[in-house]
Structure 1
């Protein structure tokens, strides 16, 4: 049994807008992530590493699970 992590980009975008950051640049600075790296996460060209998810979740005061959608594969 395995699964895939989906939805990080959607969750990051949703959280960014919910807490009032209209620009990726400003949110990336808040998270202490390079703007181009954050943009890749939100545009789904790369997935954040577990370490990056941990860092982001601590900054946002949420769990890593709050940042991802896990789908069980058949």
Structure 2
């Protein structure tokens, strides 16, 4: 699943409607959430790992496969 779909999916799993609220949860600028979901930019590997680690606290089903799928060979 592309990162923009994955981020939207996680946001909806958490029942978070506002990108601003999601940005606060992830401790990122809301501008990034908007750009990521619109496919204008992609998070770096470091940022994606940070996002995954923060979300893992509230969505324990997130696995290493999420990173592997995101960063193809």
TM bin, normalised by shorter chain, reads: 0.7 to 0.9
More helix per residue: 2
Query: Number of matched residues?
Result: 68
Q: Which has the higher strand share?
A: 1
Stretches of structure 2 lacking an aligned partner (at least 5 in a row): 57-61
Q: Which is greater in Rg?
A: 1
1:4-36, CA deviations, whole angstroms, 9 ceiling, x for partnerless residues?
Answer: xx6000000011011110111100111000000
Partner of 2:26: 31
* Rounded Cα–Cα distance in structure 2 between residues aligned with 1:37 and 1:66: 19
Aligned partners of 1:11 and 1:50: how far apart in 2?
14
Instruction: Answer 1 or 2: higher relative contact order, Cα 8 Å, separation at least 6.
Output: 1
Question: RMSD across aligned C-alpha pairs, in angstroms?
Answer: 2.3
- Return the TM-score normalized by structure 2: 0.78
